[in-house]
Amino acid sequence: MLTSTESEIGFLGSRERKKIAIVGRPNVGKSSLFNVFVGGRPALVKDEPGVTRDINLRTVDVWGRTFDLIDTGGVTGTKVPFAGEVREQVLRILPFVDFILFVVDGRDGLVPDDKDLLVEVKKTRKPFLVLVNKVDSEKDEETRLMDFLELGENMQATAFESRRGIDEVCEWIIAQLSEGGVTEMPLEKKIAIIGRPNVGKSSLINYLLNENRMLVSDVAGTTVDAIDSEIGWKGKKYTFTDTAGLRRGARRDTDVEVLSAFKSEDALARASIVVLMVDALQGLQQQEARLLDLILSENKAVVVAINKSDLGKKEIEDFRENLQEQVESQLYFHEGIPRVFISAKTGQGLDKLFETIDDLWKKMHLKISTSEVNDFFGHLVRLVPPPIYGSRSVKMNYFTQTRQVPPSFIAFCNYPQGVSPSYRRFLLKELRKKWDLYGVPARLYILKKK
């Protein structure tokens, strides 16, 4: 039976998942940290004390571990609107969480509100980590941490806006979560279809619905909504999202187009695999390359579906060969992205499209043993060592795969800052070759060896 506090806060998500609360006085960056983990801007962020007053909860995934993250209002003893109510609310919630991230402002130094709240945090007897925010560079670290040494607690220098120190925060969270079981997010094949306007996205969905007669639900709003449809294909179920056509921001002429773009980007965020549709008659354009960058930056697997290929064959001599050359030219930064020629009108090529989607799904959930990962990367860094960092040798000592989706790996290193972006890209390129991860945004985290 729920207590009144549990009921009031909706019970802070699932009882099965661990709960981590972010606490601190107003305007220290709590909501900025929350947004780093959940993506986007679900929590209002403004340089003004007291902006967050309500409890904000999201289920998030860090390196394959799932938990409920809670953003709380700023606790202060000063006379600001709702200060008493916010303080009471936060203190009522703390007994029901498992761990606490206690945020302070490195620029302001230690203030009485920090000391008062720390007393309350200690009363809970919950594991907590002090995050000293707004420490923007290594040279500022010593001076800005000095004020907080009297707290005598574990501290981490961070700068949420630039993501500085976030890997270390993730490490602490994983260490706490490892003490007990964590519920994983359910697996569901969610596919978003995106592309420029009028390339055939809706035609593909219509063909699939008419052909299969296995529609479970068809949720639609206005003409600018992203539309979810559950579709069956050869005994397997998929959730497809048809989105409005995306154009460059400068060419969105109306409020409807702007709203449409937001909804399409939200559909992209919810998907695990993306079908990027291209009009075969118009060919690949610069906008497709931009969309591909967007898809991969959101850590989604992708397949390029070249639609109207039946018309292309009729109207363009050597159609496929010419288009393949164009694709290679436009997407040369994204080697090996899978592509399929289809016709949304006749159904041509759809078997191959679904085969590719299934293959991407398997690759997104690929698990490699730690010994295999170490053998591969160890041989690679011996063959091509990391560049010298200043006058120091960069040594990568240990490698492992996280439980995250898409496949993500951690390399422990003596000087993480010495691993250049180009060397990281080299390691990821060789990784894709080894395990055929083309079309999948594999990730590599470089962490400092403890």
* 178 Cβ contact list (under 8 Å, min separation 6): none
Query: Higher pLDDT residue, 351 or 221?
Result: 351
The CATH code for residues 190-365 is 3.40.50.300
Domain 370-448: CATH superfamily is K homology (KH) domain (3.30.300.20)
Q: Measure the CA–CA gap between 210 and 441, rounded to whole angstroms.
A: 33
| Class (C level, CATH) for 4-179 | alpha beta
Q: Measure the CA–CA gap between 124 and 264, rounded to whole angstroms.
A: 43
Q: For 10-13, which contacts have Cβ atoms below 8 Å and span 24 or more sequence positions?
A: 10/57, 11/96, 12/55, 12/57, 12/68, 12/70, 12/93, 12/96, 12/97, 13/57, 13/59, 13/68
Q: pLDDT > 70: what percent of the chain?
A: 75
Q: Are strands 19-24 and 65-71 parallel, antiparallel or unpaired?
A: parallel
Q: Measure the CA–CA gap between 331 and 341, rounded to whole angstroms.
A: 16
Per DSSP, what are the bridge partners of residue 67?
A: 60
Confidence of residue 254 (pLDDT cuts 50, 70, 90): very low
pLDDT of residue 263: 52
Confidence of residue 48 (pLDDT cuts 50, 70, 90): very low
Q: Is the pLDDT of residue 124 over 70?
A: yes
pLDDT of residue 229: 80
pLDDT of residue 319: 64
pLDDT digits (tens, 9 = 90+) for 130-174: 999 999 887 778 778 877 876 766 789 999 998 899 988 998 998
Decide if 369 contacts 350 (C-beta within 8 A).
no
72-92 average pLDDT score: 84
pLDDT of residue 187: 57
pLDDT of residue 320: 65
pLDDT digits (tens, 9 = 90+) for 177-229: 875 443 344 456 889 898 888 888 888 888 888 744 333 333 333 334 456 78
CATH 3.40.50.300 residue ranges in the chain?
4-179, 190-365
Q: Measure the CA–CA gap between 304 and 151, rounded to whole angstroms.
A: 54
